């Protein structure tokens, strides 16, 4: 699995370093309300073992995101995804509502912060979470670099907290950081 992720990362880095002149045609400050973004990404995340009683979790992830610009600098969207735990072969799926706000938009380059809230389901359960279905919230930073007039490479780093909100015992929660690399299409 690591070899596939490494190959994807190398491919995307080469693509970014050899951007076509067409990428200059896409300007992140030219989007209007109603414009859309669809993206797919792959990544990796790991928990902090905080609290100490929590087990070590490390996930390879895939994510699909759909969003609509609600203003020139903000999007509302949703994403669905899944992950495979590299430690105990467990898995998870999730669905989140998503808000993204671009705080730097310079031509074909953009930075944004994200807030996501939704649900995460662990078919095999996670002892610290007291059940299979849990709440998940994420806060992160996204960097996007245009590669054509309607697409971009997307890098996302986010902090995630997953817990059952006190609805079951135990409720230690799982805190993790996720990194993902993906491709976005704009229309």
CB count in 10 Å sphere of residue 82? 16
If you write DSSP's letter for every residue of the chain in order, what string do you get?
Answer: -HHHHHHHHHHHHHHHHT--GGGGG--GGG--TT-EEEEEEEEEEEE---STTSPP-EEEEEEEEEEEESSSSEEEEEEEEEEEETTT--EEEEEEEEEEEEEEEETTEEEEEEEEEEEEEEEEEEGGGTEEEEEEEEEEEEEEEEEETTEEEEEEEEEEEEE-TTSSS----EEEEEEEEEEEEE-
Q: Are 67 and 37 in contact (CB under 8 A)?
A: yes
Q: What is the pLDDT along the chain (187 residues), one digit of tens a residue?
A: 455 666 666 665 555 555 555 566 788 889 999 999 999 999 988 887 665 555 667 778 899 999 999 999 999 999 999 888 766 667 888 999 999 999 999 989 999 999 999 998 888 777 777 788 889 999 999 999 999 889 999 999 999 988 888 888 888 778 889 999 999 999 9
Tokens of 75: 């999007």
* Cβ partners under 8 Å of residue 129, min gap 6: 122, 162, 163, 164, 170, 171, 172, 173, 174
Give residue 98's domain range.
2-186
CATH of the domain at 125: 2.40.160.20
pLDDT at residue 124, as a whole number: 79
Q: What is the pTM of this model?
A: 0.82
- Per-residue confidence (pLDDT) for residue 48, from 0 to 100: 75
Burial 27-51 (b: 16+ CB within 10 A, else e): ebeebeeeeebebebbbbbebeeee
Which residues, 6+ apart, have CB-to-CB distance to 165 below 8 Å? 135, 171
Tell me: the pLDDT tens digits for 131-156? 888 899 999 999 999 998 899 999 99
Number of compact structural domains in the chain: 1
């Amino acid at each position: 699995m690591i070899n596939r992720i490494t190959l994807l990362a190398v491919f995307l880095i080469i693509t970014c370093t050899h951007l076509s002149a067409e990428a200059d045609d896409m300007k992140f400050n030219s989007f209007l309300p109603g414009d859309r973004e669809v993206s797919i990404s792959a990544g990796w995340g790991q928990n902090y073992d905080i609290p100490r009683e929590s087990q070590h979790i490390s996930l390879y992830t895939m994510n699909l995101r759909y969003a609509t610009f609600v203003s020139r600098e903000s999007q509302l969207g949703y994403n669905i995804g899944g992950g495979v735990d590299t430690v105990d072969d467990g898995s998870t799926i999730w669905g989140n509502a998503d808000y993204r706000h671009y705080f730097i938009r310079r031509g074909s380059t953009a930075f944004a912060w994200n807030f996501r809230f939704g649900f995460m389901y662990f078919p095999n359960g996670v002892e610290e979470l007291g059940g299979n279905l849990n709440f998940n919230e994420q806060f992160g930073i996204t960097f996007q670099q245009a590669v054509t007039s309607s697409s971009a490479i997307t890098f996302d780093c986010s902090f995630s907290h997953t817990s059952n909100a006190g609805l079951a015992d135990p409720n230690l929660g799982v805190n993790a950081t996720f990194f993902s690399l993906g491709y976005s299409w704009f229309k």
